[in-house]
Amino acid sequence: MRRTCSALAAVAAAATLFTGIPAAAAAAAPVRLPTARGAVADSSRPPTERQIKALFDRWNAALATGDARRVADLYAPDAVLLPTVSPEIRTTRAGIVDYFEHFLEGKPVGTVQERFINIPNRNTAIDTGLYRFTLTNEDGSTSEVDARYTFVYELRGDDWLIVNHHSSKVPEG
């Protein structure tokens, strides 16, 4: 029992040392993630995995609008996009908008198949895994594309933005 108490005290001391916030206060402080650009975010402690999952849902909902500019709004001005169906690396807002203008023609709907979330600090999160896009073809039929992804999110001001997004088709076989 003594070791457990000492370990808990050490964790609380480390939390206070690294964050400047007593452990009890940090545990009680809310962490808010924005639902739209400009919403208030709380960076007093790291986000939860559930909250990072919600950032993918926000991105997927932006795809559903069919508005490439709305999707691009979720990316930082200096973001890098390595897209699924384009050989061109996109490093400007104009490039990201251009990519999504073409990609959104297929009315993509993404579904995460498997994911791993890493939250290295209170301002950065990485969501990596496999997702499947259902695309609508010109004749109304649908097709599916399985892809690997990595989203790197960073809290910039009051908003969580995508700073790096890599997506590539899963190799066959």
Q: For 20-47, what is each residue's pLDDT tens digit?
A: 434 333 333 333 444 444 444 566 789 9
Give me the sign of the Cα torsion angle 9, 11, 17, 19: negative
Residue pair 45/18 in contact (Cβ under 8 Å)? The answer is no
List, in sequence order, every residue forming a beta bridge with 154; answer none if it has no partner: 124, 161
60: left (phi over 0), alpha (psi -120 to 50) or beta: alpha
- For residue range 50-70, what is the model confidence (pLDDT) as tens digits? 999 999 999 999 999 999 999
Q: What percent of the chain has pLDDT over 70?
A: 75
Percent of the chain with pLDDT over 90: 72
